[in-house]
């Protein structure tokens, strides 16, 4: 297998692994995606990853699928984009089919309920880790830090849809950084 195809196949397996072994949805996948693509395989810089993540969060749809789509497009075009989306989504699809079958039959069992409560705690901790890792980079200077705190406060106080806050943040970024 040529080196380029081998590398593409390894990236496909990376997204398949991310889709298969990350519980909690898109935000829980962020640390794993970052570690694999920025630290281990070095196919993206930290800034390119944050750029892809920012765009992915601004688009409708699942964060993990959007991120996989953008990363695939950034490093290999439409073919890799489709491959990475498929790799990310397939494990979830099969998991949902299997879990739905068993969960609908056994959801009242205390053992099953206890398992999912414990899994929820892990999901919350992985999301907090993602916020910490991204927050450190995203708020490197005082302008970014103030903007982050103000927009978080705005979200908490107003209850406005996050899409509008993303647009507001983008507009403020344009205004403050020109």
26 within domain boundaries: yes
How high is the pLDDT of residue 91?
Answer: 87
Residue at 131 is within a domain = no
Backbone angles phi, psi at 23, to 5 degrees: -90, 150
Does position 29 have pLDDT exceeding 90, yes or no?
Answer: no
Is 133 within the bounds of a domain? no
pTM of the model: 0.57
pLDDT at 87 (0 to 100): 92
Specify the higher pLDDT residue, 47 or 136.
47
Is 70 exceeded by the pLDDT of residue 95? yes
Per-residue pLDDT at 78: 92
pLDDT at residue 44 above 80?
Answer: yes
Q: Which two tokens stand for residue 2?
A: 């040529």
Q: Which sign does the torsion angle of CA 8, 10, 13, 19 carry?
A: negative
56, part of any domain:
yes
The total number of structural domains that make up the chain:
1
**Residue located via tokens 């509008």:** 164
Predicted local distance difference test score (pLDDT) of residue 9: 86
Give me the percent of the chain exceeding a pLDDT of 70.
Answer: 96
Q: Which residue has better confidence, 96 or 86?
A: 86
- For residue 140, being part of any structural domain is answered with no
Mean pLDDT of 72-89: 90
Q: Does the residue 44 lie in any domain?
A: yes
127 falls within a domain = no
Q: How far apart are CA 28 and CA 24, in angstroms?
A: 5
What pLDDT is attached to residue 1? Answer: 62
Mean pLDDT over each residue of the chain, to the nearest integer: 85
Boundaries of domain holding 87: 3-109
Q: Given this model, what pLDDT does residue 26 score? A: 66
47 in a domain, yes or no?
Answer: yes
State residue 24's pLDDT score.
Answer: 64
């Amino acid at each position: 297998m040529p080196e380029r195809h081998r590398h593409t196949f390894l990236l496909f397996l990376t997204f398949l692994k991310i889709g298969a072994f990350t519980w909690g949805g898109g935000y829980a996948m962020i640390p794993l995606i970052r570690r694999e693509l920025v630290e281990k395989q070095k196919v993206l810089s930290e800034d390119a990853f944050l750029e892809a993540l920012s765009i992915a969060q601004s688009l409708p749809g699942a964060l993990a699928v959007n991120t996989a789509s953008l990363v695939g497009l950034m490093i290999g075009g439409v073919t890799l984009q489709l491959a990475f989306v498929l790799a990310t989504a397939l494990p979830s699809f099969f998991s949902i089919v299997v879990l739905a079958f068993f969960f609908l039959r056994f959801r009242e069992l205390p053992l099953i309920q206890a398992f999912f409560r414990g899994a929820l705690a892990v999901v919350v901790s992985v999301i907090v880790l993602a916020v910490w890792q991204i927050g450190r980079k995203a708020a490197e200077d005082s302008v970014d830090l103030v903007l982050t705190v103000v927009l978080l406060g705005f979200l908490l106080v107003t209850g406005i849809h996050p899409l509008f806050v993303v647009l507001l943040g983008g507009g403020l970024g344009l205004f403050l950084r020109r």
